[in-house]
Every structure is written in C-alpha cells, then in structure tokens.
C-alpha cells in the first residue's frame, strides 16, 4: 500500500493505493480516497474507490461496502483498521454483501457483455 497526501496542508484528505499481490485481483492497482471529518474518531472517514473495478463490495459509484465503515464502526478503530479491511476485500469477496447495491449481478452482466462483444461467450 501507498498513501498519498497530495495537499500537505490538509492531512485529513488523502489517497490510498492498494496493489494486491495474490488472489483474483493480483496485479491490479486500486485507488481509494479518504476524507476524515470533524467527527472522527466517533464517525468513520468517508472512503470511496476511485478506480473502476468489478467487485461485489464496491458499487459503480465507488461506494465501498465494508462493515467497519458503517454499522460496525467504533472509535477505537483506526485508519490502519480500514486499510487492512480494504486489503482483505481483495482477498476474500463477499457476494451479496449488504449495501453492495446488487453489484455482483451488475458486474456479471458487464463481464458477460464484454465477452460477447469480443466473441468469447
């Protein structure tokens, strides 16, 4: 992982690059934006995936379905906890995860459509 603080005067907004070295997403490069609000650590940071990816826990707008970013957030959790959670998403996917917005079906449709366009169905 790499963290990029583009604006050195604003450390509450940064980007994270995840490059899985195993699993289905091995070799991919996925960028996430973090926005840490004034309510932190009582409220979780806002995290979005900036990379277009077909993943059951990331919808087409980049919203991430990770329980610790929502209902399971606790003030004792840290940015590192979120980073570990995001890395884990690329190792073990949870099809039909709550909040995923039907992404597995949408992703499958896009993949099958792309294969059909290439004559590979």
CB 41 within 8 A of CB 75: yes
Could you tell me which residues are beta bridge partners of residue 33?
15, 48
CB 15 within 8 A of CB 6: yes
CB atoms within 10 A of CB 44: 23
Range of the domain at 77: 2-117
Active site residue 65: yes
Place of tokens 């290439």: 118
CB 25 within 8 A of CB 90: yes
Residue 66 token pair: 């990770």
Looking at the structure of the chain, the number of domains it has is 1
For the question of whether the overall pTM of this predicted structure is more than 0.85, the answer is no
Specify the CATH number for the domain of residue 80. Answer: 3.10.110.10
| Per-residue pLDDT in tens (0 to 9) along the chain, 121 residues | 999 999 999 999 999 999 999 999 999 999 999 999 999 999 999 999 999 999 999 999 999 999 999 999 999 999 999 999 999 999 886 655 544 444 443 444 444 454 555 554 4
Residues 6+ apart with CB under 8 A from 120: none
């Amino acid at each position: 992982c790499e963290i990029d603080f583009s604006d050195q005067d604003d450390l509450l907004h940064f980007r994270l690059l995840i490059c899985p070295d195993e699993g289905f997403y091995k070799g991919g490069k996925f960028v996430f934006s973090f926005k840490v609000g004034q309510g932190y650590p009582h409220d979780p940071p806002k995290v979005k995936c900036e990379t277009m990816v077909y993943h059951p826990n990331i919808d087409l707008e980049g919203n991430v379905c990770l329980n610790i970013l929502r209902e399971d957030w606790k003030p004792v959790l840290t940015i590192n906890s979120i980073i570990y959670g995001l890395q884990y998403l690329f190792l073990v996917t949870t099809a039909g995860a709550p909040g995923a917005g039907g992404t597995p079906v949408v992703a499958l449709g896009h993949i099958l459509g792309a294969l059909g366009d290439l004559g590979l169905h």
